[in-house]
Amino acid sequence: MSQASQDFDEDRVVKELKFSPESVLEHVRPHPVLSNKLTSEQKIEKIAKSFAEILETLGLDLNNESIKKTPQRVAKMYVNEVFAGLKSDAFPKITVIENEMAYDQMVLIDNISILSCCEHHFATIDGKARVAYIPNKRVIGLSKINRIADFFSRRPQVQERLTKQIADSLCYILDTKDVAVSITAKHYCVASRGVQDEASLTTTCDLRGSFKHDARTRSEFVSHGSK
Ligand SMILES: [Zn+2]
């Protein structure tokens, strides 16, 4: 191999850093959970029993063909899908690479789908997130930001905590304070009960580092996409 091609090959080696779910979650503000040591299978079994009781109490006929398997369906959906973000091993595999291009402007991902569940009423939270950061020494694959937002959404949540947990994890992974997260969402507990306002939306923001202290960076984030 010629000297030139050796140099080229060496240039192609981009330094990568991988994170274990545990190390990331240690740096994210805690969720109100108690470890009960149950396996996923045990959780599904217990929830199915409890949910059957709820349906019975509501007066539904559990022998009806259409309803018969609902407790089992709901239990599986809770443990494996809707609340999968309570299991640390469901945290996405994250790799960051060295910011070798020295990119030092805002990276912004808009329109990230957020589908969560309000922990007060167990009703759907349906919204969009906007996430931005200014790279320090690390950059992250863009789809990983969507996956991180999705992981923390798959928990019984309040929107304020969800916003902060996404920001906490990115600050740690990217080793920077220059992170901004904003979520605008419709809460079905507000739409279908209480005030029954179907149109209202809730926005939460966590602006850190230069997004908090520098008016220009902040307005670049806040006004992105608006005319
Ligand atoms: Zn609610």
Domain ranges of the chain: 40-82, 94-222
CA of 178 to the centre of ligand 1 (A): 31
CB–CB of 173/94 below 8 Å? Answer: yes
Q: Is the pLDDT of residue 6 over 90?
A: no
Share of the chain above pLDDT 70, in %: 93
Q: How far is the CA of 190 from the centre of ligand 1 (A)?
A: 7
pLDDT band at 196 (very low <50, low <70, confident <90, very high): confident
Task: pLDDT band for 14, please (50, 70, 90 cuts).
Answer: low
Active site residue 27: no
Distance 194 CA to ligand 1 centre (A): 9
Any catalytic annotation for residue 118?
yes
* Tokens read off for 128: 């969009």
Whole-number pLDDT of residue 40: 96
Least reliable range by pLDDT among 57-71, 124-138, 183-197? 183-197
CA 165 vs CA 13, 82, 157, 181, 221: distances in Å: 32, 17, 10, 10, 19
Contact 154, 84 (CB under 8 A): yes
Cβ contact 38:192 at 8 Å: no
For residue 200, is pLDDT > 70? yes
Q: Which of the following CATH numbers is that of domain 40-82: 1.20.140.10, 3.40.50.10470, 1.10.760.10, 1.10.286.10? A: 1.10.286.10
Give the per-residue pLDDT at 3.
Answer: 45
Please tell me the distance between residue 127's alpha carbon and the centre of ligand 1 in angstroms: 14
Question: What's the confidence (pLDDT) of residue 5?
Answer: 43
Which position among 31, 45, 98, 189 bears the catalytic label? 189
CA distance 8 to 177: 34
Rounded distance, CA 206 to CA 171, Å?
12
117 is catalytic: no
pLDDT of residue 66: 97
At residue 204, does pLDDT exceed 80?
Answer: yes
List, for residues 143-167, the tens digit of each pLDDT value: 999 999 999 999 999 999 999 999 9
The whole model's pTM is what? Answer: 0.91
Task: Report the interhelical angle of 142-153 vs 159-174 (nearest 10°).
Answer: 140
Average pLDDT of the residues of the chain: 92
Q: Look at residue 209 and tell me whether its pLDDT is greater than 90.
A: yes
Mean pLDDT value of segment 12-26: 84
The reply to whether 159 belongs to the active site is yes
Q: Which of 157, 159, 171, 205 is catalytic?
A: 159
Active site residue 224: no
Residue by residue, DSSP assigns 98-128 as: E-TT---S-EEEEEEEEEEEETTT--EEEEE
State yes or no: pLDDT of 1 exceeds 50. Answer: no
Pick 94-222's CATH classification: 3.30.1130.10, 3.20.20.70, 3.40.50.970, 3.30.565.10: 3.30.1130.10
Confidence band, pLDDT 50/70/90 cuts, at residue 4: very low
pLDDT for 195 equals 82
Highest mean pLDDT among 3-7, 15-19, 175-179: 175-179
113-119 mean pLDDT: 98
Tens of pLDDT, residues 35-82: 889 999 999 999 999 999 999 999 999 999 999 999 999 999 999 999
